[in-house]
Amino acid sequence: MITDIPDTLHFQPDGTGAGLYTERIDLREIGTLEVVRASEIEFDDTTQRWEVFDYNGRRVFADPSREACLRWERETFNQ
């Protein structure tokens, strides 16, 4: 499971925040949300691996395990 990776929110001086969305914290309670995907995870039939693509469409990680891709996503984007 990926639950052992902490949720991280980053706040700017103007009060805006960013982080991977999770339902552990109801962010709607602190204001209006604007949600933009940080990445996409898709399965490649040819390589038989899950692939993580950044918001520019570049493949940035791949693994046979989708769980490993989710873990990589959280570790990378929570920095």
Distance CA(68)–CA(36), nearest Å, equals: 22
What is the domain partition of the chain in residue ranges? 10-77
- Show the tokens assigned to 45: 């039939």
Residue 3 pLDDT exceeds 60: no
Residue 2 pLDDT exceeds 70: no
- Show the tokens assigned to 77: 């984007």
Choice between 7 and 34, residue whose per-residue pLDDT is larger: 34
* Average pLDDT estimate for 7-15: 80
What is the pLDDT at residue 5?
57
Q: What's the chain's length in residues?
A: 79
pLDDT tens digits for range 25-41: 787 888 888 877 778 99
pTM over 0.75: no
Task: Please name the helix (run of DSSP H) or strand (run of DSSP E) that holds residue 10, with its range, or none.
Answer: strand 10-11
